[in-house]
Amino acid sequence: MADLEELREAILNGDARRADSLTREAIAQGVEPLALINQSMVPAMDEAGRRFECEEYFVPELLLAARAMKAALEPLRPLLAATGARAAGKVVIGTVKGDLHDIGKNLVASLLEGGGFEVIDLGADVSPQKFIDAVTNSGANIVALSALLTVTMPSMRNTIEALKQAGLRDRVKVMVGGAPVTQQFADQIGADGYSENAPSAVALARRFAGSAA
């Protein structure tokens, strides 16, 4: 019988090969994809996030766990698509225009994906128009903006303004984060939320998803 706890451990320990093989075994044994996600992957990435917050895990361990999670998720994707299973929410994420730093954004994207969200990662140096296009095409309900530099923080404001101009602002919740970003700044630019680290970003997205129509 598939051992969901073992899969959770494999992800948590960053063992991508083991995570992949355990997932395939579980699928072969008829375990429901959503059970694998909800009982192994989500708890594994939640625990990885918790350890990161407690400074038991650092960036390498978190990226390793994310890689294992993605390896486990890969064989599930076609099954999830076939069953029409819905994600916890759909997030468009990117580092804003002019900023090429992406490690913080990558950590948030991985934890969101591990948390059951569908994540459309636009990468770094993303223009407001690309965010608009991605929201329009995907129907995402959350937009997550990252910036590491104080000089690129105005791009967050520009992106939010562009979403307004495009008539999309009311369809999405906008969350912002990054080393120089503060709650005060988030309020000033009209963001819906701010989080100071990756695990809190997941908690925030869950609140948004829960409050969505």
Partner 1 sequence: MTGKERVQAMVNGAAVDRLPLMPITMMFAADCAGVRYRDYVTRHDVLVEAQLAVAERFGFDYVSVISDPAREAADLGAVVEWFDDQPPAIVESRALLTEKAAFQSLRFPDFSAGRVRDRIEGVRLLARHTGAERMVEGWVEGPCAMAADLRGLNTLMLDLYDDEGFVRELFEFVVAMEVEFARVQVAAGATLIGIGDAAASLIGPKFYAALVQPLETKLVAAIREMGVMTRLHICGNTRKILTGMGATGADIVDLDFLSPLKEGRAAMGPRQVLLGNMDPVRALRDGTPESVTAVLERCWDEAGPRWIVGAGCEVTRGTPLENVEAMAAFARSRHG
Q: Which is nearer to partner 1, 67 or 206 (CB)?
A: 67
- The yes or no reply on residue 125 touching partner 1 (CB under 8 A) is yes
Neighbours of 63 (CB within 10 A): 17
Binds partner 1 by CB under 8 A, chosen from 24, 70, 101, 207 = 101
Q: Can you tell me the distance from the alpha carbon of 7 to that of 17, in angstroms, rounded to the nearest whole number?
A: 11
What single DSSP character describes residue 126?
B
- The yes or no reply on residue 188 touching partner 1 (CB under 8 A) is no
Q: Can you tell me the distance from the alpha carbon of 174 to that of 118, in angstroms, rounded to the nearest whole number?
A: 16
Task: Give the range of 42-50, 80-88, 101-109, 137-145 binding partner 1 by CB under 8 A.
Answer: 101-109
- The yes or no reply on residue 51 touching partner 1 (CB under 8 A) is no
- Show the binding pattern over residues 168-187: x = contacts partner 1 (CB under 8 A), - = does not: -----------xx-x-x---
What single DSSP character describes residue 85?
P
Location of structure tokens 């909800």: 38
Least spacing, CB of residue 29 vs partner 1, in Å: 30
- The yes or no reply on residue 9 touching partner 1 (CB under 8 A) is no
Strands of 90-95's sheet in order across: 118-121, 90-95, 142-146, 173-177, 193-194
Q: Which is nearer to partner 1, 31 or 73 (CB)?
A: 73
- The yes or no reply on residue 161 touching partner 1 (CB under 8 A) is no
Q: CA angle 186-172-49, nearest 5°? A: 65
Binds partner 1 by CB under 8 A, chosen from 80, 85, 87, 103 = 103
Q: Can you tell me the distance from the alpha carbon of 4 to that of 89, in angstroms, rounded to the nearest whole number?
A: 23
Q: Can you tell me the distance from the alpha carbon of 174 to that of 187, in angstroms, rounded to the nearest whole number?
A: 11
Task: Give the range of 53-61, 80-88, 169-177, 203-211 binding partner 1 by CB under 8 A.
Answer: 53-61
- The yes or no reply on residue 50 touching partner 1 (CB under 8 A) is no
Q: Across-strand partners of 145? A: 94, 176
Least spacing, CB of residue 63 vs partner 1, in Å: 5
- The yes or no reply on residue 35 touching partner 1 (CB under 8 A) is no
Read off φ and ψ for residue 170, nearest 5 degrees.
-75, -10
Kindly list the residues in this chain that would bind partner 1 in the complex (CB under 8 A): 14, 55, 57-61, 63-64, 67, 98-103, 106, 123-125, 149-152, 179-180, 182, 184
